[in-house]
Amino acid sequence: MKLYKKTVFHYGCSFAENIGGFSSDLFDGFEYINMGKQSSNNKLILETFKKNSTKDSISIIQWSSLTRPGDNNHSDNDNILYGLLDEWYVFIENAMEFANENNIKLIQYIGWAIWKDDELNDYHRNKLKSYNINWFSSSSQLDLWPSNCFQFQSPDKWSSIETKEGLFQWDVLQWGGMSEWIRENIDIYNRYMGKNIYGDFDVHPSKVATNEFTKQVLLPLLSE
């Protein structure tokens, strides 16, 4: 007799797409469908989720940067970050409403920290806490790279300009995602893809880091 496997859809940008490439075999207890796509903006991620997810399934959404081309990226708010957060809240609430209407278990997280806690006011702190997003923090520590894929403050506000043996000192990050979980849990030399064939440093999570995030974070969340 063929056993029924729960369907899991996974959406996001390249951070999610690479989980499909590196870690899809780890979802052997599920019918795993990876729909992550490189450079996807949050509007496209939402639209892809609503177009493809089926009733009574599980959907994982990895939200991307707030400033990808294709999102509205404009607001009357004088604070750029607050305006972009307000736009993102609409996407999140739309996704949660769709999931509720279709009995979809929705798991949400972000790819990487984009703002620091001291950039927020209490309204936005409370708003962010009100959603069922899985946040990951990272402590003050050394890392190989001075910044995330994109953040609102310049890299020197996030890490030291001076390096220690080629490493950068990072501050505490509270509102983090996959990158912050990896920074906190994976050995410094196994965190990133590293230098590519062109000599550029690729800050996407390595296969080792991606597999550990999948095993230690995503799979337990699927079983809750």
Query: How wide is the angle at C-alpha 215 spanned by C-alphas 63 and 196, nearest 5°?
Result: 65
> Number of C-alpha atoms within 13 angstroms, CB side, residue 137?
8
User: In the chain, what are the domains?
Assistant: 7-223 (3.40.50)
DSSP state of 214: I
CA distance 112 to 122: 21
Amino acid letter, 34: N
> What is the β-pairing status of strands 201-205 and 58-63?
unpaired
11 and 45 in contact (C-beta within 8 Å)?
A: yes
Predicted confidence band of residue 74 (pLDDT cuts 50, 70, 90) = low
Q: Which of 22, 11, 9, 91 is nearest to 54 (CA)?
A: 9
Give the lowest-confidence range in 20-24, 40-44, 71-75, 182-186: 71-75
> Number of C-alpha atoms within 13 angstroms, CB side, residue 177?
25
120-158: burial string, b at 16+ Cβ within 10 Å, e else: beeebeeebeeeebebbebeeebbbbbbbbebbeeeeeb
Whole-number pLDDT of residue 76: 66
- Tell me the average pLDDT across 147-172: 82
Write the pLDDT tens digit of every residue in 108-131.
999 999 999 999 999 999 999 999
> Number of C-alpha atoms within 13 angstroms, CB side, residue 182?
29
Whole-number pLDDT of residue 68: 79
The H-or-E segment that residue 201 falls in is strand 201-205
Predicted confidence band of residue 159 (pLDDT cuts 50, 70, 90) = confident
* Predicted TM-score of the model (pTM): 0.93
Which is more confidently placed, 208 or 3?
Answer: 208
Give the lowest-confidence range in 11-25, 27-41, 143-157, 181-195: 143-157
- Whether pLDDT at 190 is above 60: yes
40 and 18 in contact (C-beta within 8 Å)?
A: no
59 and 99 in contact (C-beta within 8 Å)?
A: yes
Whole-number pLDDT of residue 1: 40
Write the pLDDT tens digit of every residue in 198-214.
888 889 999 999 999 99
